[in-house]
Amino acid sequence: MPKIIQLSPHIANLIAAGEVVERPASVVKELLENAVDAGATQVTIEIRDGGMTFMRVTDNGCGMTPEDAKTAFLRHATSKLRTAEDLVSIATMGFRGEALAAIASVSRIDLMTKTAGAISGISLLLEAGNITEETEVGCPEGTTIIIRDLFYNTPARMKFMKSDTVEGSKVTSAVQMQALAHPEVAIRFLRDGKEVLSTPGTGDLEAAVYCIYGRESGKMIPVNSRWENYTLTGYVSKPTDARPSRNLQTFFVNGRPVKSRLLIAALEEAYRNRIMVGKFPACVLHLTLPATMVDVNVHPAKTEVKFLNEKSVFDCIHYGTLGALNSTSDRPQVQFKNTNAVPAPQSVPAPAAKPAPTMAAKPAPSAPAKQENFFRTMNAEEYRNFTQVIKDAPKPTPQVASAVTKAVVQDTKPVLRSPVLIPDLPVVSKPVEQTPEPPVEPQIVTEPEQTKLPMPQEIPWRIVGELYRSYVIVEQGEEAFLIDKHAAHERILFEKLKANQEAITSQSLLTPIPCRLSAEACGEVLNNKEFLEELGFEVDAFGENTILIRQVPMDLSPENAQNALESLAADLLNGRRENKANIRDEILHTVACKAAIKAGWNTSSKELEVLVKQVMSNEDLKYCPHGRPICITLSKKQLEKQFKRS
């Protein structure tokens, strides 16, 4: 047995470096955290070649005395922990006094630092963790640390590095994370000489979010809630601004960025049935809870987290988000192309003294993208610009709104009429000749069981007409609504189906319908036979690659049975089988979509009236199951502006 020896500090540091310093991004994260801990209000980060050759972090924090600066690079040197009690209270931050020692051991470092009030500062040069030069220098208060040639002395580690572009992007995302964690710090980031991020540092999280997410997340909804002794603050995207991936979901627990399936699930639960499957909300959420309720793996490079009470955490995120979503009544508005008529601020207000927020490599929309139709919903940017204008428009409290409308009603009594209560009617919708849509069996537009969040009932509305056999125009008080009849009907049917989901009734088909699917899809469908039965489908194997459909849900017209089964099979194949409730919802969406009246069909006025009545009496009908708007608004004020009457 060889003799036992203690590893040299250099070897020990290299081992630690393996844990702490994975790549340039982890170095930047550590340096940024140190700058924030030092009380900096302004931090500049600069990298070259993905950070591999050069990284600089300059802060205006408290700086270090010459002795401290030298001690800082020793292993387990920290000013942040003194006693075992400290360890408990700041455990979540992961202070281990290890970062600088570890980074220094695998790079060349230039450090310049000066404390407030000191006449001069100190400059240190280090190589592989050893101080090679030490000089007194004149420098501003705060600290500048430059890391050169990362991993120059550990070629094995160097091999694991990806291209400079990839490493650089990881650095960008580490910087963005810190910027979202600390909106109170103005963070500027330069990549190969180009500024790619600059946050205002006003402490306003929304401004920081806007700098980082840009226009992609749209105008976000603030979240502010308490649940037991947990608090949740931040911003979530509107359902209509759902994203194709989860890359704009950021969670912090007690100020530390974390990755957690639990948090994602809780967030997305709040959006159930509001956004399409396969689309994801964006968020920046800060969850604060007692340190004893969370077990953060203090490994500095990791972001995993364990909660003592997962249910409470889930509820906090879920209900917090749900509350925020339900509190916004943001029917999309009609936007006019002519911006002269509707002067809108050019960008979100940025603090005057600071440079305007820059977007991290977000290209501005191209000119053709600006070509707009007359009637359409706003995109996120326009919505943002428009909020100022909307603020001036008369709409808010129901009391005010009804007062205004009462006056209007008196003035224009002959024009307005109250909605007529129409019982369930057989629908007489028919596709018009030239549309390719197949004709369907008569459908029923029924009253919803119960309407939630009623609109101010006292404001009468009337149907003005229908545009393009697709959009119903409704006037109510000083506001007009354009309702997409298909989207509205689809949503209503979906709610109805969902309410009765324990017992979906089926209709037997006189002639079973064969449905040809891929071999894989057939297998999937037959594997889920019982489940499909619960949903009103009875199916059987029918030779090679064919399924025989014997029964379909009552609300689904037989013509659409094949289509519905096909998309269902695709859902099952796409692996959405882990959560039956979700698949069920998705099927209900499909059924509702297929069964709903279509744009382009002739729809009787009575039928439209029943439909409109349901939309107008239910604030929740803002989104169809697939996330498209059901209804957009156009106020009298907007029109007056267009016609230069105001």
Minimum CB separation of residue 34 from Mg ion in Å reads 4
Burial annotation 595-627 (CB, 10 A radius, 16+ → b, else e): bbbbbbbebeeebbbbbbbbbbbbeebbbbbbb
Question: Which of ligand ADP, Mg ion, none sits in contact with 435, Cβ below 5 to 8 A by type?
Answer: none
Rounded least distance, CB 205 to Mg ion, Å:
23
- Total binding residues toward ligand ADP, as defined by CB under 6 A: 21
* Distance, CA of 560 to CA of 556 (rounded, Å): 7
Pairing between β-strand 479-484 and β-strand 461-467 as defined by DSSP bridges? unpaired
For ligand ADP, which stretch binds (CB under 6 A), given 62-70, 119-127, 221-229, 260-268? Answer: 62-70
- Of 26-45, which residues contact ligand ADP (CB under 6 A)? 30, 34-35, 38
**Residue 79 contact among Mg ion, ligand ADP, none, beta carbon within 5 to 8 Å by kind:** ligand ADP
Q: Among residues 29, 56, 96, 641, which is the contact residue for ligand ADP, using CB under 6 A?
A: 96
Of residues 78 and 500, the one with the C-beta less far from ligand ADP: 78
Minimum CB separation from Mg ion for residue 29, in Å? 9
CA distance 525 to 504: 18
Q: Where are the beta strands (DSSP E) in 93-229?
A: 108-114, 121-127, 130-137, 142-148, 186-191, 194-198, 221-227
**Is 186 a residue that touches ligand ADP (CB under 6 A)?**
no
Report, in Å, the least distance between residue 79 CB and Mg ion: 10
Q: Are 633 and 479 in contact (CB under 8 A)?
A: yes
Task: Tell the smallest beta-carbon distance from residue 353 to ligand ADP (Å).
Answer: 24
Residue 195 burial by Cβ neighbours in a 10 Å radius (0-12, 13-18, 19+): middle
Of 98, 382, 479, 607, the residue at the interface with ligand ADP (CB under 6 A) is 98
Which residues have C-beta within 8 Å of that of residue 146, sequence separation ≥ 6?
54, 55, 56, 109, 110, 111
Q: How many CB atoms lie within 10 A of CB 401?
A: 20
- Minimum distance, C-beta of residue 30 to Mg ion, in the bound complex (Å): 5
Question: x-or-dash pattern for ligand ADP, window 141-170, by CB under 6 A?
Answer: --x---------------------------
Q: How far is the CB of 357 from ligand ADP (least distance, A)?
A: 24
Residue closer to ligand ADP by CB (options 62, 564) is: 62
Verify binding: residue 296, ligand ADP, rule CB under 6 A.
no
**CA atoms of 330 and 238, how far apart (whole Å):** 9
Q: Using CB under 6 A, which of 100, 179, 305, 587 touches ligand ADP?
A: 100
CA atoms of 124 and 89, how far apart (whole Å): 32
Rounded to whole angstroms, how far apart are CA atoms 487 and 624? 6
Which part of the chain contacts ligand ADP (CB under 6 A), choosing from 93-101, 176-184, 502-510, 523-531? 93-101
Task: Give residue for tokens 């600290």.
Answer: 143
The enclosing H or E element of 164 equals helix 164-181
Among residues 100 and 488, whose Cβ is nearest to ligand ADP?
A: 100
Shortest Å distance, C-beta 113 to ligand ADP = 7
Residue 97 binding ligand ADP, by CB under 6 A: yes
Residue 31: partners with Cβ closer than 8 Å, 6 or more residues away? 45, 55, 57, 99, 103, 145, 147
Amino acid at 280: F
**Residues, the chain:** 646
Minimum distance, C-beta of residue 133 to ligand ADP, in the bound complex (Å): 19
CB of 14 to ligand ADP, least distance (A): 15
259 binds ligand ADP (CB under 6 A): no
Binds 44: which of ligand ADP, Mg ion, none (CB < 5-8 Å by kind): none
Rule CB under 6 A: is residue 79 a binding residue for ligand ADP?
yes
Nearest-CA neighbor of 144 among 128, 124, 130? 124
Q: Footprint of Mg ion on this chain (CB under 5 A)?
A: 34, 99
Between 131 and 404, name the residue whose CB sits nearer to ligand ADP: 131
Please select the residue that binds ligand ADP; options are 61, 129, 257, 627, rule is CB under 6 A. Answer: 61
- C-alpha 323/C-alpha 97 separation (Å) is 41
Site membership for ligand ADP, residue 99 (CB under 6 A): yes
- Residues 6 or more apart whose Cβ sits within 8 Å of residue 502: none
Quick one: what does residue 268 bind among ligand ADP, Mg ion, none, with the CB cut-off 5 to 8 Å set by partner type? none
Give residues in contact with ligand ADP (CB under 6 A).
Answer: 30, 34-35, 38, 59, 61-64, 72, 77-80, 95-100, 143
